[in-house]
Amino acid sequence: MKQGPDAAGHFGEFGGRYVAETLMPALLELERAYRAASADPAFWEEFNAVLRDYVGRPSPLYFARRLTGAYGGAKLYLKREDLNHTGAHKINNTIGQALLARRMGKTKLMAETGAGQHGVAAATAAALFGMECVVYMGEEDIRRQAPNVQRMRFLGARVQPVSSGTATLKDAMSEAMRAWVSRVDDTFYVIGTVAGPHPYPAMVRDFQSVIGREAREQALKQAGRLPDLVLACVGGGSNAAGMFFPFLDDASVRLVGVEAAGYGIATGKHAASIGGGQVGILHGSKSYVLQDGDGQVLNAHSISAGLDYPGVGPEHALWARTGRVKYVSITDAEALEAFEDLTRLEGIIPALESSHAVAEAKKLAVTLPEDGLIAICLSGRGDKDLDNILAYKAKESRA
């Protein structure tokens, strides 16, 4: 199962490099550079040292006793990516890509961001390594995620507002790709998820796989066994890819990816690309895409800005196709309920993204025996979401 993509970046029929010719030489150069770095033990030594000393890894695998009691079934373990420096898993990837950029002699970083978590993580890596950084962010997300915008600015990044389309992550990524075309000589584009053209999906997965490698070892050490079930939320899919990848060959471990159902798949207002989309080509790769009958990309909806994206990484598309990973979806309301459960019962305020995975655990815990074990990737912390949740609740109570 743990097969990388083929030489041209295909995961089965998915993936590839669907970009303008102007970008192709840069992608080929990036692929060569990543392949060389990947084969160099010194690169990984430095990566691991920064993750340990700066990010604070390994993150704990925490047994959530009270949540387990409330959900009434299998033991629930949380992989605490929320405890990473900057508060989410995104930093694992930006450290990796910034190190690669430095190795390639690039001095400028650029990134797209939805919730702002990846933007903050990219700005943080840029500050750490003394690089310039520009972050493309939709105006709607700038409004929804004001604290992260300020954080990026304090870190020295320039936040470039994007007003096209729905002014969210999809449009920020389109604008970042446009900008990259004109800066391709000296700028490294730090993509925040396992989407985009080859080699990004494989590279980001590799940098994020530290999550699953640690979780696997920790489960064996702490519980004496592998989990029965591993859960992670899926927008573009980077925390899920990193969590799942090291478990792919463990046939006894069920893997479940949780997409955002928004108001419900049937309403059309959702972000479940696998559950409610079709195969298509967006932002450089072939995967599942939310689109209309004429191949125009639709706007996604999720209460969680980080899942509010109409595409998904191509390797997830392959895992869905082969059945190795099962993809389900959770509504805004279910995610909020899980957010409140975890906050009250464990004193952990989860990101709305991660709350989707917790909500699926609430459904599945009772289907397993009490000695069963579920590992949930708690991909980030929820402080950034408080304004957004209050606004949602105010709207609901008026309705």
d(CA 298, CA 292): 6
Of 79, 90, 170, 384, which residue is the catalytic one? 90
Q: Among the candidate windows 22-30, 31-39, 225-233, 338-346, which touches another protein by CB under 8 A?
A: 22-30
What is the phi-psi region of residue 88: left when phi exceeds 0, alpha when psi lies from -120 to 50, beta otherwise?
Answer: beta
Torsion, CA 316, CA 286, CA 290, CA 339, rounded to 10: 30
Residue closer to another protein by CB (options 53, 185) is: 185
Among 289, 303, 342, 352, binds another protein (CB under 8 A): 289
Q: Among the candidate windows 66-74, 276-284, 334-342, 382-390, which touches another protein by CB under 8 A?
A: 276-284
Residue closer to another protein by CB (options 114, 280) is: 280
Among 3, 6, 22, 383, binds another protein (CB under 8 A): 22
Q: Among the candidate windows 21-29, 31-39, 104-112, 265-273, which touches another protein by CB under 8 A?
A: 21-29
Question: Under the criterion CB under 8 A, does residue 283 sit at the interface with another protein?
Answer: yes
379 is catalytic: yes
Of 31, 81, 112, 353, which residue is the catalytic one? 112
Among 41, 105, 130, 185, binds another protein (CB under 8 A): 185
d(CA 55, CA 81): 10
Burial of 69 (0-12, 13-18, 19+ CB in 10 A): exposed
Size of the site for another protein (CB under 8 A): 37
- The closest of 312, 247, 238 to 88, measured between CA atoms, is 238
Question: Under the criterion CB under 8 A, does residue 21 sit at the interface with another protein?
Answer: yes
By the criterion CB under 8 A, which residues form the site for another protein? 8, 16-26, 164-165, 170-171, 174, 177-178, 181-182, 184-185, 278, 280-284, 286, 289, 291, 294-298
Residues that are catalytic: 90, 112, 379
